[in-house]
Structure 1
Amino acid sequence: MAVSVIERVRTQRPLIHHITNSVVMNFTANGLLAFGGSPIMANATQEVADVTRLSQGLLLNIGTLHEEQVKAMILAGKAANQIGIPIVFDPVGAPATRYRSDACQRILQEVTPTVIKGNAGELAHLIGLNVETQGVDSTGAADSEAIVRLVAEKYQTGAVCTGEQDVGCIDGDVFVNETGHPLLAQITGSGCLLGSLLTASLAVEGSPKEKVLATLSHYGRAAEQAAGQPDVKGPGTFIPRFVDALARGEEA
């Protein structure tokens, strides 16, 4: 299953428009290229709608949020909805400040995402629940299956909750991905890159559940493969091996 989805991405090389945070742009672009998609990153309100109309998918990530970016996300999101391309919304650090929380609601009132992806604390915050967080990371215990169901129901979208196990809900169907490695939690932007890859997979044909689960599985296996390389001693040596592993097929 995973191979067929990833092969579709690599054959079609969908152009994914990212309005994302400045910390992760380079890592995200390189990771998406390795996976098989094609990145473009434009933030100016004067062009985001036009760039979106040239693209096959849109990622909205609020990691380094500012007011012009909120406006740009709404403009791009409306354009994506109009032409019917997938949108992945990543509410990075949504519980951390009132501004982030309000910005999420402004965006979600104007834009209909295909999938909302975040950790348990971020997703719980969108539905009025409280899960302990530290900065942009979720640190408390949570019922991820209940959270993704509630997010999907409230916003009429798919939902993916990342963590030691990834839990998704697409069209009311809840599923779990168990691949992955703890080193992913020790590098900046691992979740942000996952949002990019999910957008690329959603841009090709196939059932949404198949595409999301295939991407989660491949991402986690790539982390496992990278961590198992003999020259990987920690987060710094893990990153290049992880990007390499993203470019491999399932058989690697």
Structure 2
Amino acid sequence: MKEQLWEYILSVRHNSPLVHNITNYVVMNNTANALLAVGASPVMAHAHSEVRNMVAIAGALVVNIGTLDEYWVESMLSAVDEAKTLGRPWVLDPVGAGATTYRNEVLAKLINLKPAVIRGNASEIMALANHSLVQTKGVDSIHQSTEALAAAEILTQQLGSVICISGATDIIIDQQRKVFLHNGNSMMGKVTGLGCTASALIGAFTTIEDMDYFDGTIAAMALLSVAGEIAALQSAGPGSLQINILDKLYNITAEEFFNLLKFEIKS
């Protein structure tokens, strides 16, 4: 499986897919640079007059609700509608799910449009599935990824989406399969927007021909987590880690990827 995941990484590098992001102010620069580092081409566009046209020329759409407002919500819904019409994959990042009534109302509309992939932390995934006693602390998770597994199973059965739970262990599931990734570094949680970066990278990997979204999500998460693990070894803190992750996304080798990647396939 490692060899196939590496082939997907090379495919993104060689094909430079255009990824349309309707994302938040906090992470635009970070996610654009990460997409460029892996070989993809980012565009951030949310104007009502062009979102449908932008979806039409992009390989995938990523919707991130981090800094919501009413104008952007209309842009998101229009873009997703166009993606569905054209058969383009779209990825949802439900930042802060469960934090406010407005956020939950927007997410209810978006998940009804059945994203190809949903990526969030454990608290966000649990909130999306309407688990009892769910709390979020802003956009941070107060739950471990394994605690959200039942919620992810509910979502994938209801929506048919691939569900990715980010955490110390990244969990990717669909209606039949589960993969647990055991890479990364705890310092990654101190860098703003790395979860959003993961969602953007997933968008790039959903564009690969002849590959299902489950495998693409695994490849994207494996690449980011291994790059983060390597980058942490030469970083003095979160500031240098952010830069070093970008560099490693750009120059990671097959040998580094194969030697460090740790995963489990579960039934």
**TM (normalized to structure 2)?**
0.90
Residue by residue over 1:207-230, the C-alpha shift from the partner in whole angstroms, topping out at 9 and shown as x without a partner, is 32222112111111100110112x
Provide the secondary structure at the position in 2 that maps to 1:78: helix
Provide the secondary structure at the position in 2 that maps to 1:236: helix
1:189 aligned partner? 193
Report the Cα offset of residue 76 of structure 1. 0.3
2:21 aligned with 1:23, yes or no? no
Matches within 5 A, 1:126-205: 126-129=128-131, 130-141=133-144, 143-205=147-209
Report the Cα offset of residue 172 of structure 1. 2.5
Report the Cα offset of residue 157 of structure 1. 1.1
Report the Cα offset of residue 156 of structure 1. 2.1
2:27 aligned with 1:14, yes or no? no
Matches within 5 A, 1:105-116: 105-109=108-112, 111-116=113-118
Residue by residue over 1:3-41, the C-alpha shift from the partner in whole angstroms, topping out at 9 and shown as x without a partner, is 100111111111000000010000100011001110001
Residue by residue over 1:105-161, the C-alpha shift from the partner in whole angstroms, topping out at 9 and shown as x without a partner, is 12223x221001101111111111143321111113552322221111122211111
2:230 aligned with 1:225, yes or no? yes
Unaligned runs of 5+ in 2: 257-267
Q: Contact 1:127/1:154 (CA < 8 Å) preserved in 2?
A: no
Aligned-residue Cα RMSD (Å) equals 1.3
Aligned-partner Cα distance in 1 for 2:121–2:215 = 21
The alpha-carbon distance between structure 1 residues 106 and 163, as it changes in their structure 2 partners (threshold 3 A), is same
State the AA in 1 paired with 2:46. Answer: N
Choose from 117, 134, 158 the match for 2:119.
Answer: 117
Matches within 5 A, 1:209-248: 209-229=214-234, 232-247=235-250, 248=252
Percent same amino acid at aligned positions? Answer: 35
Provide the secondary structure at the position in 2 that maps to 1:131: coil
**TM (normalized to structure 1)?**
0.95
- State the number of aligned residues: 249
Aligned-partner Cα distance in 1 for 2:175–2:212 = 10
2:69 aligned partner? 66
State the AA in 2 paired with 1:137. Answer: D
State the AA in 2 paired with 1:82. Answer: T
2:49 aligned with 1:46, yes or no? yes
